Amino acid sequence: QVQLVESGGGLVQEGGSLRLSCAASGRTSRSYVMVWFRQAPGKEREFVAVISRNYGSTLYADSVKGRFTISRDNTTENTMYLQMNSLKPEDTAVYYCAVSDFPYIRSALSYYNTWGQGAQVTVSS
């Protein structure tokens, strides 16, 4: 069983930056792929970015490409980060990290089987 804990959320003004962290513990040897999703009030959970374990392959949603950067701790590969720059009010959401037992990067919600509790990000205009 893998446990995930997000941290780093908060309130920031439009144009500002935040960095989210997701720490994985437990049976992490099969946590091949780590991903960020987000869910705004009244909306479905949507894909943000994903990173693979071994080669650092990444994929981003078009809405965050060029502003957000996903990365993974080089030492343990059990901590993932999301550097968010040039934040916009529409980035306001609860951000969730998740992992998959499968080695391919995917943006589908159903691909991921373990989720964190979420971190609130609020961007004021």
CA atoms within 13 A on the CB side of 44: 4
Beta bridge partners of 103: none
Give the burial class of 84: count Cβ atoms within 10 A of its Cβ; 0-12 exposed, 13-18 middle, 19 or more buried: buried
In this structure, what DSSP letter does residue 57 have? -
Residue 30 is predicted with a pLDDT of 63
- pLDDT tens by residue, 81-94: 999 999 999 999 99
Residue 106 is predicted with a pLDDT of 93
Q: What is the mean pLDDT of the chain?
A: 93
Residue 122 is predicted with a pLDDT of 98
For 111, list phi and psi in degrees, rounded to 5: -75, -20
Q: Is 111 helix (H, G, I), strand (E, B) or coil?
A: helix
- pLDDT tens by residue, 15-54: 999 999 999 988 877 677 999 999 999 999 999 999 988 7
Residue 85 is predicted with a pLDDT of 98
Mean pLDDT value of segment 83-108 = 95
Three-state SS annotation for 2-53: EEEEEECCEEEECCCCEEEEEEEEECHHHCCEEEEEEECCCCCCEEEEEEEC
- pLDDT tens by residue, 44-82: 999 999 998 877 799 999 999 999 999 998 777 789 999
Q: Please give the span between the terminal C-alpha atoms of the chain, in angstroms, as a whole number.
A: 40
Residue 90 is predicted with a pLDDT of 97
Residue 5 has pLDDT above 90, yes or no: yes
Q: How many helices (H) and strands (E) does the chain have?
A: 0, 11
pLDDT > 70: what percent of the chain?
Answer: 97
